[in-house]
Amino acid sequence: MKYLKKKGVSPLIAAVLLIAFTMAVAAILTAWIATFTQEHKDRSEAFDEKITCAYSNIEVDRDYAKWDETNKIFYSFVSNTGVDAITLTKVESWVNNDKQLPIMLNSSNLALTSIDKNGYLEIYVNLSKAFSAGGSKLTKIKFISECDPVFDTITEPQGSWNSFVWVDSPETRLANA
């Protein structure tokens, strides 16, 4: 019998190949784990926000709701009866029972629209844009928060809105000014 001369891979090259293979597998696993953890972190944050919003609530004080017919300014108190601070983001209004475009509240100054836990916000809202297309009677107003399902709507009382006269002063702040 004739012996064939077979050559194998040298131990040095085998070690280099083994290290390269290990590093490639480690790189793939690292990329996958980073993506996996980022996806779960994003989901977790979304669930945290939903949980926070589930325990949030706002209420418009119907007893102190007032309407300045001349200047088209609505005034009331909005209370936070939830467990965390909440921010009002927009106001929707109905003029002569027709829904108007929403008014986005001024988000550059959160002091105007943020309500602490168990706190309230005295709010003046200029609705003159809602009356620009015509109409003469505010029939409903809805305050909407940053949490999607958290809002409160107030409808015109049977005897009409309580009235007041808007006085522009430095202490008085419009929510959408």
Residue 1 within any structural domain of the chain: no
Cβ count within 10 A of residue 18: 10
Domain interval for residue 79: 58-163
Distance, in Å, from the CA atom of 5 to the CA atom of 11, rounded to the nearest integer, reads 18
49 and 71, same domain (yes or no): no
* 65 and 49 co-located in one domain: no
CATH of the domain at 64: 2.60.40
Number of domains in the chain: 2
- Evaluate whether residue 175 is within a structural domain: no
Note whether residue 141 is domain-resident. Answer: yes
Distances (CA, A) of 68 to 11, 95, 124, 156: 91, 14, 10, 13
Which of 38, 54, 70 is a domain's end point? 54
Domain presence at residue 105: yes
Domain for residue 14, yes or no?
Answer: yes
DSSP bridge pairs for 88:
145
> How many alpha carbons lie under 13 Å from residue 119 in its C-beta half-sphere?
13
- Give which of 125, 112, 115, 120 is closest to 75, Cα–Cα: 125
Evaluate whether residue 176 is within a structural domain. no
Give the residue carrying structure tokens 């280099």: 16
105/44 same-domain check? no
pLDDT for res 41: 93
Q: What is the pLDDT of residue 60?
A: 93
Distance CA 94, CA 43 (A): 37
User: Is 72 inside any structural domain?
Assistant: yes
The helix (run of H) or strand (run of E) holding residue 28 is: helix 11-54
Same domain, 67 and 130: yes
Residues 25, 66: one domain?
Answer: no
How far out from the chain centre does Cα 162 lie? 31
Chain Cα centroid distance, residue 156: 27
- Whole-angstrom Cα distance, residue 156 to residue 69? 13
155 shares a domain with 110: yes
Whether 62 and 109 share a structural domain: yes
Whether 97 and 79 share a structural domain? yes
Are residues 142 and 84 part of one domain?
Answer: yes
- Has residue 173 been placed in a domain? no
What is the phi/psi pair of residue 20, to 5°? -65, -40
44 and 72 part of one domain:
no
Please indicate, yes or no, whether residues 45 and 95 belong to a single structural domain of this protein: no
> Residue 55: left if φ>0, alpha if ψ -120 to 50, beta else—which one?
alpha
Q: How do the pLDDT tens digits run along the chain, 177 residues long?
A: 566 666 777 889 999 999 999 999 999 999 999 999 999 999 998 888 788 788 889 999 988 899 998 888 999 999 999 888 888 888 999 998 888 888 887 655 556 688 888 899 888 888 888 887 777 889 999 999 988 788 999 999 888 888 888 877 655 666 654
Q: pLDDT tens digits for 85-135?
A: 888 888 999 998 888 888 887 655 556 688 888 899 888 888 888 887 777
Task: Give the DSSP H or E segment for 93.
Answer: strand 86-95
Neighbours of 166 (CB within 10 A): 16
**Structure confidence at residue 112 (pLDDT):** 67
Q: Are residues 48 and 113 in the same domain?
A: no
